[in-house]
Structure 1
Amino acid sequence: MKIISKIKLFIFFSTLAFSSLLQLLFVGNVWANQDVSPKLEKPLSPGFDLMLVGGGLKTCSSLSPHSCVDSITFSPNAKLSIQYHFSLDWLERALNDASLQTLSSNQTNNLRKASRKAAKSSVNLNQLKDAVYQVDKHLLDELTDQQYYALLDLLEQEQHSIDGSPLQEQVRLDATTKPYGPAIYRLFTLQALLKKQQKNPDATRPLIGIVTASARDPFESISFYTSAFEQAGADVIWLPLDAALQAGIHHNQCDKLPMLRQQLQGNFDKARLYPDHTQLQQRLCESPEKLYELLESIDGLFLNGGDQSLTLTAWLTPDKKPSKALAVIKNRLVNKQIVIGGTSAGTAVMTAANMITGGTSDGAIQHGVLSAKPPSERCEMNQCDGDIPPTAVTYRAEGGLGLFPFGIMDTHFSERDRQIRLLMLTASTDSEMGFGVDENTALLVNIADKHLSVIGEHGVWVIEQTQARKDDNGKSIFKGVSHYLTSGSQADIDNKQRLANIEFANRVVSVNMAANYPAYQQWIVQACREGRLSRKLIDDVELILLPSSTTGCQSVLNNQQSYQGIKLLLQQQDD
């Protein structure tokens, strides 16, 4: 009887702590505006399996001081910037590497000239670019991705403290100007603890595994996520899963990991900069069963942001089949033994089918949506030529990790005006639903109950009942019904793959909508006031917003942002 009472006591206090943190998260902008937080009539469900973050978790760190309060200081062991050797001897070292042998003599000579012009031998990225630009303004843009990143990696400088230990990025959750990011890290940690307490009621710290394969350089952000989750109350391990490790295990080529990292992940010379982490990857490649044991032991798994295509290769074998690592976490997710979270690319990769990989709303209108490999991100910045226009919307029809079974996931949503691209992709692929998560915001998902909750600063856009067809003149028409759930709101997904039982939080936004919110959100307000709104977009394409009921607009008209049942029609106007 004593053991049973003890277990019940732990569950009670854990749930109480969880609910308290949720209440803090629900208030959204109230924290930032110092208002009194409203109480929810019905608390959100305390259990969730997935935490899908829209990116932009602004967190105070030594590499992101703009997210810190003014008085913050870091220890002498903090990395304050990424530095590069740009002396002639280090440049010659880089140019002698096999990865840069394809540079032309003119390119190498101009790099040498830039090195001589540089004000100092240790520079940050902007200073390096400026020095090269003064000699040849097109040089860096003309480099291939392999050449560009090899040059940066080979020049990157090791940074050590006085005692010889490597400098690391330091995080200060308590000194972050906006509370949402730190609160989301803490909530994920608390849910991981609840998972752990299912088998060990006395546990006080969960074990969280981080996978950073979304980044071209997965080593760079290890210290950030380790520090963030440790401060949130967890023990943390880095899992060196990436495309190189999967290939090394699959082909029994662990002795070729440096080459595989170059070819598959796109990074160079990392053993010099991160000897301990590259050695860990080597050991787990040679003994993959230890990797699977770690995946069985963690209570939470968190995936970083970057490129979802890279994230996916960390969990698939080289022949694009699910790896044993993926099978392990899927089995544990089904059995509710683990909570899985991701931010940005780490969210997008959760999609079961038609994983979005790139593009913009304007690009979707101009070029359509394409089942194709996306162009380089550097192409979008530099407008380089290629088979796929840099702004075209691309997707992987086979999907991502398959952890989120309800539709397509998209991120950085309202901030980057991605409503049109998600509407067109969802409709074009016959996907039943699409979800767009704003920055500093998370969608919590209870998979078995088909229950959704929203926490953070902004909201989650949901599109359903989508259709794509051609009219009699061959012009494309896209239709759908949209909803917007702000922090503290919740809903269920019914058997028809539609939102049901929507409950909005009573959360008033005390900011000027016209001045501070994206155009799309302003259009919704106008459509709700006028009963219908038509907006001409690029290339003579018209977007019509039609509220399906007055009740669907009540929250947005009360300056609470939330709405439901807005019908969308996207069509090309007649000549």
Structure 2
Amino acid sequence: MKIISKIKLFIFFSALAFISIQQLLFVDNVRAEQGVLSKPASPLSPGFDLMLVGGGLKTCSSLSSNSCTEGVTFSPNAKLSIQYHFSLDWLERALNHFSLQTLSLNQTNNLRKASLKAAKSSVNLNQLKDAVYQVDKHLLDELTDQQYYALLDLLEQEQHSTDGSPLQEQVMLDATTKPYGPAIYRLFTLQALLKKQQRNPDATRPLIGIVTASARDPFESISFYSSAFEQAGADVIWLPLDAALQAGIHHNQCDKLPLLRQQLQGNTDKARLYLEHTQLQQRLCESPDNFYQQLEHIDGLFLNGGDQSLTLSAWLTPDKKPSKALVLIKNRLANKQIVIGGTSAGTAVMTAVNMITGGTSEGAMQHGVFSAKPPSERCEINHCDGKTPATAVTYRAEGGLGFFPFGIMDTHFSERARQIRLLMLTASTESEMGFGVDENTALLVNLADKHLSVIGEHGVWVIEQTQASKDNRGKINFSGVSHYLTSGSQADIDDSHWRLMNFELANQAVSVNMAANSSGDQQWIGQACRDGRLSNKLIDDFKLVVHPSSLAGCQQVLKGQLGYQGVKLLLQQ
């Protein structure tokens, strides 16, 4: 570990007042909990440029009350659920929309019958589906994505408070049961403040811009992210950048934004529900220089979760070239003027090359890895027929936004057992490295120092030195060296050999101890560290051989922890 990097991180984390809770590092910033970030005694060197979150940022909100402590109540203006009009007259309104004119007579009649079976005219999504299933259990599955989502959007119900204002999702960071999500929002906010203080040493609140283009409906989560970052101590603006706005600016078709939203982003009838936000998007489309000025002034940029392909379409022109907005943000990132964060799809899209777009570990072994457009997300459930199997691993060879130059980014990692898919993708594409971030966890990246650190509930899995080679039977085998960095761990990237070095694994006092309920992958690593080698049969005659490079690399595992380094993996057919 370089001494300068150690000093930076010591000062930086000290300023955040990290404390240990349940054997985990998380941020405890009292002033931030009150909505105001305290100004450090002196400006600090920027600690990181990218915050790559693995998704699953559990946060107490009116739409996620299961993440709240007991006894939490929300104001009468809080949106508690998404509701749908499922009365016959409202359904007729939806069926008259041009987007549903392709439904068959049988489908429209069955939807009418289902609306009559609904227990009430205002229903949630599960109640709507149940009513339809009672009439035709295959109807919704048979709809195309465009038909299915247009139906939901056209039926979605407006919800207003007694004063007529729209209900909004309310967030309570301080009432969240687990501290990790709020800690990550506060850490990002503090880092944005440090960026701002390079220009204005007296600043006390940063300006964070949120882009919600990863969602099919980018309007729905505006209030969530705005509230979360405001409570973390930031001023927040929503940047209405999505595929529709990008196309409207590029083709000078701002008068066609509603149609572009349906064709490119996949949503319908949003001006009815989000009039102010659609009007803002319209104004910035007509005056894009105002939008670019906003990008010049933000101190932090945060990308939401959903579909990374949608986020990419927001930042690329329709002919797949970097947009003016993307060039501007990349220049600011290169000059260390901004911190960029993302969660789930917002993390995956930062990959420079070979951006993963879909698939599972099982699908990788059963069907393979494809440079192709991913099937619909609904196909994993509905088993759609298509050129690419629903669970096969797909990727975009040209990559994503290019903010993270060190390898492929993957998310929801241990929770969805994605180790095999990342190993196969990284080896198949001859990528240098692959990184898998667990939920409620963040990988912090200092681009200039090539330094990584981990905070949050779980850890980050790294695969390097990957190869795909044929054996004497003509079967392709995949190999690599894996590491797992738990919260509080650090490492540097050696980009001359494309591997991690200068490991500093978190010690027992601050590491995550989940041995009792660890994933299958972690159990295999533990057994391999104890026995020196493990061979485990998977599906379709695949076999995974786990071989630690040395007992020193297994030191943490042998102490009952999860972090390790230098474990060789060989996936054989």
TM-score normalised according to structure 1 size: 0.93
Instruction: Tell me how far apart the structure 2 counterparts of residues 448 and 31 of structure 1 sit (CA, whole Å).
Output: 25
Q: What does residue range 106-255 of structure 1 map to in structure 2 within 5 Å?
A: 106-255=106-255
What is residue 506 of structure 1 aligned with on the other side?
Answer: 507
Tell whether the 8 Å contact from 2:193 to 2:299 is kept in structure 1 after alignment: yes
Instruction: Tell me how far apart the structure 1 counterparts of residues 514 and 459 of structure 2 sit (CA, whole Å).
Output: 17
Distance 1:15 1:190, change over 3 A: farther
Tell whether the 8 Å contact from 2:25 to 2:455 is kept in structure 1 after alignment: no
Residue 384 of structure 1 and its aligned partner are, at CA, apart by 1.6
Give deviations 1:268-307, integer Å, cap 9, x for gaps: 0000000000000000000111110000000000000000
What is residue 446 of structure 1 aligned with on the other side?
Answer: 446
Tell whether the 8 Å contact from 1:317 to 1:323 is kept in structure 2 after alignment: yes
Q: What does residue range 430-509 of structure 1 map to in structure 2 within 5 Å?
A: 430-494=430-494, 495-508=496-509
Residue 17 of structure 1 and its aligned partner are, at CA, apart by 7.1
Instruction: Tell me how far apart the structure 1 counterparts of residues 13 and 94 of structure 2 sit (CA, whole Å).
Output: 51
Q: What does residue range 392-431 of structure 1 map to in structure 2 within 5 Å?
A: 392-431=392-431
Residue 209 of structure 1 and its aligned partner are, at CA, apart by 0.1
Distance 1:398 1:28, change over 3 A: farther
Q: What does residue range 370-385 of structure 1 map to in structure 2 within 5 Å?
A: 370-385=370-385
What is residue 332 of structure 2 aligned with on the other side?
Answer: 332
Residue 559 of structure 1 and its aligned partner are, at CA, apart by 1.7
Tell whether the 8 Å contact from 1:432 to 1:466 is kept in structure 2 after alignment: yes
Tell whether the 8 Å contact from 1:461 to 1:484 is kept in structure 2 after alignment: yes
Residue 511 of structure 1 and its aligned partner are, at CA, apart by 5.2
What is residue 365 of structure 1 aligned with on the other side?
Answer: 365
What is residue 18 of structure 2 aligned with on the other side?
Answer: 23
Tell whether the 8 Å contact from 1:22 to 1:187 is kept in structure 2 after alignment: no
AA matched with 2:515: M
Distance 1:318 1:28, change over 3 A: farther
Tell whether the 8 Å contact from 1:18 to 1:191 is kept in structure 2 after alignment: no
Partner-residue secondary structure (3-state), 2:503? strand
What is residue 3 of structure 2 aligned with on the other side?
Answer: none
Give deviations 1:457-508, integer Å, cap 9, x for gaps: 1100000000001112110111100000000000001121110000011135
Distance 1:558 1:571, change over 3 A: same
Tell whether the 8 Å contact from 2:25 to 2:487 is kept in structure 1 after alignment: no
What is residue 557 of structure 1 aligned with on the other side?
Answer: 558
Instruction: Tell me how far apart the structure 2 counterparts of residues 46 and 332 of structure 1 sit (CA, whole Å).
Output: 14
Distance 1:28 1:412, change over 3 A: farther
Distance 1:142 1:440, change over 3 A: same
Residue 14 of structure 1 and its aligned partner are, at CA, apart by 13
Instruction: Tell me how far apart the structure 2 counterparts of residues 71 and 316 of structure 1 sit (CA, whole Å).
Output: 45
Instruction: Tell me how far apart the structure 1 counterparts of residues 525 and 440 of structure 2 sit (CA, whole Å).
Output: 22
Partner-residue secondary structure (3-state), 2:540? helix
Residue 30 of structure 1 and its aligned partner are, at CA, apart by 4.0
AA matched with 1:513: A
What is residue 308 of structure 2 aligned with on the other side?
Answer: 308
AA matched with 2:18: Q
What is residue 342 of structure 2 aligned with on the other side?
Answer: 342
Tell whether the 8 Å contact from 1:91 to 1:155 is kept in structure 2 after alignment: yes
What is residue 391 of structure 1 aligned with on the other side?
Answer: 391
What is residue 544 of structure 2 aligned with on the other side?
Answer: 543
Instruction: Tell me how far apart the structure 1 counterparts of residues 420 and 328 of structure 2 sit (CA, whole Å).
Output: 36
Distance 1:255 1:512, change over 3 A: closer
Residue 129 of structure 1 and its aligned partner are, at CA, apart by 0.4
Residue 131 of structure 1 and its aligned partner are, at CA, apart by 0.5
Tell whether the 8 Å contact from 1:18 to 1:190 is kept in structure 2 after alignment: no
Instruction: Tell me how far apart the structure 2 counterparts of residues 259 and 168 of structure 1 sit (CA, whole Å).
Output: 25
TM-score normalised according to structure 2 size: 0.94
Tell whether the 8 Å contact from 2:284 to 2:291 is kept in structure 1 after alignment: yes
AA matched with 1:363: G
Partner-residue secondary structure (3-state), 2:370? strand
Tell whether the 8 Å contact from 2:46 to 2:194 is kept in structure 1 after alignment: no
Give deviations 1:506-551, integer Å, cap 9, x for gaps: 135675624x111000110000000000000000110000000010
Residue 16 of structure 1 and its aligned partner are, at CA, apart by 5.7
Detail structure 1 runs of 4+ shifted over 3 Å in the superposition: 12-18, 26-32, 507-512
Partner-residue secondary structure (3-state), 1:377? coil
What is residue 41 of structure 2 aligned with on the other side?
Answer: none
What is residue 90 of structure 1 aligned with on the other side?
Answer: 90
Partner-residue secondary structure (3-state), 1:342? strand
AA matched with 1:413: F
Aligned identity (percent) is 82
Give deviations 1:125-175, integer Å, cap 9, x for gaps: 000000001111000000000000000000000000000110000000000
RMSD across aligned positions (CA):
1.7
Distance 1:71 1:544, change over 3 A: same
Residue 45 of structure 1 and its aligned partner are, at CA, apart by 8.6
Distance 1:271 1:16, change over 3 A: same
Instruction: Tell me how far apart the structure 1 counterparts of residues 283 and 508 of structure 2 sit (CA, whole Å).
Output: 51
Distance 1:510 1:219, change over 3 A: closer
Aligned residues: 548
Instruction: Tell me how far apart the structure 2 counterparts of residues 13 and 539 of structure 1 sit (CA, whole Å).
Output: 48
